[in-house]
Amino acid sequence: MNPIARRIRVTGIVQGVGFRPFVWRLAQELKLTGWVRNDAEGVEIAAEGATTQVDALLQRLRAEAPPLARVDSVHANDAAPVGQAEFSIVESAGGALSTTAIGPDVAVCGGCLAELFEPADRRWRHAFITCTHCGPRYTVTRALPYDRPQTSLAPFPLCPECASEYGSPADRRFHAETTCCPLCGPRLSLIDGQGQAIAGDPIAETLRLLQSGAIVAIKGLGGFHLACDARNGEAVAQLRWRKNREEKPFAVMTANVASLAPYARSSQKEQALLESRERPVVLLRAQPDCAAALPGVAPGLIWLGAMLPTTPIHFLLFHDAAGRPSGNHWLAAPQAMVLVMTSANPADEPIVRTGAEALTRLAGIADAILDHDREIVCRCDDSVMRILDQRPQFIRRSRGYSSAAIRLPQTGPSLLAFGAHLKSSVCVTRGNEAFLSPHIGDLDNAATCDFFDETVERMLDLLEVKPAIVAHDLHPDYYSTRAAIAFAARHGLPTVAVAHHHAHIAAVCAEHGWRGPLLGLALDGVGLGPDGAAWGGELLKVDGAQCARLGHLRPLPLPGGDRAAREPWRMAAAVLHEQGRNVEISAHIPEAGAGIVANMLERNTNCPRTSSMGRVFDAATGLLGLCSHMKYEAQAAILLEQAATRHIEVHGWPPALDNGWIIDRKGQLDLLPLLASLDGAADVDQAAARFHATLVAALTDWVERAAKASGITTPAWGGGCFHNALLSVHLRQSLEQRGITVLAPVRLSPGDAGIALGQAWVAIESLES
């Protein structure tokens, strides 16, 4: 039988994940000759051999791909045989990128952990152990194709033993670009807050400092964490004071799920998410005595954000705390140490990336800095997730996930979308893929705006994209909008302005590949509407680039403007005013400024109106006395949700309030009757539960009426209010009971982090309309 030859193109996440060694091993097994290489499009293969064997290679490329790989396509073309004697891995080829992508940063794999804690292994306690199945990718890569010279490992030439592993096709580190060992790899260093070296083993000394109550900045994959002993109330209080973080909860890290059990409950799905290679922070239900055991970590909350070790440095700290046992049996046993692990940054600024930054930006915050000389090329904060109704939901999509493309249903010109003002992210499209940046943050300070600009350039350079169109928010004063317009002007590009709530729903359309009309339920804090008003509780008809407002919440006044979004008592006063009870505000609300606010409402002075659902939650919280002044974003809504949760866990889901809402002929949903029912409630938790039950019933009625009137039976939802578990779970169930299936965000947060994808989708659709 004459041999055949094929040129094979594989696209997807196929660089830096052991794909070429995988192909080499398949070729050896199938007795094929030829070669495999990385190039700008992904992986290219030249294979020669028997027809059945070449066909088997094509089938197995997808079916047996390495664990970190994502194969998007496999295409094969006939080629002329050249009669090569063997199969080899050859030098990477250059060229313009079109389909390849870099993989995400993932946690240490089981194989590396076994070596890390085996005293006889040459990588015993090596803080940078990695292989083709684990470790950094996105945060160490400068450019594609993904080869060592293009990463921050380039300054570390391989020693003979590592070079032998790197060149051995049978080895787990065959062409592992980040591989190294204690002889040739990066080095740890520990310095105090003044930059002076601290003598001794950096890991052992870091542990000593943590156990003594110190705050240590620890370099991770995408930036530094600030760590302290979570069981030490004084250390936690000191971290709060230094970081100016009065009440916002911290995340904690434990050695394993067993170590977390005394502090939080976790289901099988939550445990799987905690132990996943992406290692997000997972929001869990706290144990009853968690607040006493971890004083000040999550003050006043019944939830706890928790994560497991991600990097070898994390594992080594827990190994030292366990007494440095031999082997890895200890990894499954409960360990006593619990660490606060929070992003290392001054309040609201980007995460610290370099040791030099740490010395200046963390001055007065960190007592010591555990650093190393492997550069973090780009910042990438922790991802945050929770399980809702047996489904994972993103609260923040970043490390471990941000480099993964979202497939679009069609190919088009490249677009650059600049996203929202809060929880900012950037989106770049290339062909039929959309790439969202890691979490950037709120564009309220110069440091974050600089990071935003840096991220735009980084994504365009890494993906080698020259956008044809720029999309941005309608709001003219947002930094993201000004940056988009300036970028477009510099490059001579057209711009597309997209309304905030249209973008929320369009992001869901993009993720699900939905092309056609649907209903959009957009519920959030605020976004500029096309009419120049502050929107936030919207029922829309969305059809690609077209968006029509079918209805909205009854607008409420914002006494004091944006200040009302931070002080829920003002929204409570607004509700009393809307009920015709303005004269009762001063006596009813124990705030020094209540009389002034009552007068503002009476005169309609600095009281712009908003249809925001977020402000409805604030009003409910203020009326129930759960929160009068917020110390962090969404605190009021969180406290309202947890009050309801406490009641529901004991008594179940309550009935909705009769006559708790009104829907008029213009599609306006009036929740004032529901809000009025909360005033003077004797059982606050019960009232909070009833609020949620009635809100779900009202929204169900609203969507169902719109579906019947429009003939559109598929709704999509988006907006930060859908982080509320009670709202999301019960509204989905209520609609499904009526035969209405909802499209909801899956691979994105429902909040503003997904806005950039929605902007890009609207811009794409506008080209075809």
Amino acid letter, 317: L
- Note the pLDDT tens digit of each residue in 254-306: 999 999 999 999 999 999 999 999 999 999 999 999 999 999 999 999 999 99
Query: What is residue 40's predicted lDDT score, i.e. its pLDDT?
Result: 77
pLDDT tier for residue 95 given thresholds of 50, 70 and 90: low
Cβ distance 259 to 275 under 8 Å?
Answer: no
Work out the percent of the chain whose per-residue pLDDT is above 90.
Answer: 89
Whether 545 has a pLDDT exceeding 90, the answer reads yes
Assess whether pLDDT exceeds 70 at residue 99. Answer: no
Distance separating alpha carbons of residues 391 and 254, to the nearest angstrom: 24
Query: What per-residue confidence (pLDDT) applies to 756?
Result: 98
Give the Cα separation of 319 and 371 in Å (integer). 19
What's the pLDDT score for residue 103?
A: 80
State both tokens at 737: 């009971």
Split at pLDDT 50, 70, 90, the class of 100 is: low
DSSP string, 94-107: ----SSEEEPPPBP
pLDDT surpassing 80 at residue 606: yes
At 98 the pLDDT is 56
* Alpha-carbon distances, residue 322 vs 283, 327, 333, 337 (angstroms): 26, 12, 10, 9
pLDDT, tens digit, 9 for 90 and up, residues 326-372: 999 999 999 999 999 999 999 889 999 999 999 999 999 999 999 99
Average pLDDT, the chain: 95
Each residue of 519-539: pLDDT tens digit? 999 999 999 999 999 999 999
pLDDT surpassing 90 at residue 94? no
Instruction: Return the higher-pLDDT residue of 600 and 70.
Output: 600
Band of pLDDT at residue 311, cut at 50, 70 and 90:
very high
- Do the Cβ atoms of 452 and 399 come closer than 8 Å? no
Does a cis peptide bond (omega within 30 degrees of 0) precede residue 145? yes
Amino acid at 642: Q
Structure confidence at residue 17 as a pLDDT band (50, 70, 90)? confident
- State the distance between the two ends of the chain, measured CA to CA, in whole angstroms: 54
Residues 390-431: pLDDT tens digits? 999 999 999 999 888 999 998 889 999 999 999 999 999 999
517, pLDDT greater than 90:
yes
Nearest to 634 by CA among 723, 717, 696, 740: 723
Average pLDDT rounded to a whole number, residues 603-626: 97
Query: Is residue 160's pLDDT more than 80?
Result: yes
User: Per-residue pLDDT averaged across 668-684, rounded?
Assistant: 96
Tokens of 100: 């390849």
Residue 378: predicted pLDDT: 94
Q: Is the pLDDT at 582 greater than 70, yes or no?
A: yes
Higher pLDDT residue, 721 or 79? 721
Please state, in angstroms and rounded to a whole number, the distance separating the CA atoms of residues 151 and 155: 9
* Selection from 476, 536, 512 nearest residue 719 by Cα: 536
675/326 Cα distance (integer angstroms): 61
What pLDDT does 97 receive? 52
What CA–CA distances, in Å, run from 768 to 410, 430, 470, 511, 757? 11, 17, 16, 18, 17
In single-letter form, the type of residue at position 729 comes to V
Q: Give the distance, in angstroms, between the CA of residue 126 and the centroid of all CA atoms in the same chain.
A: 29
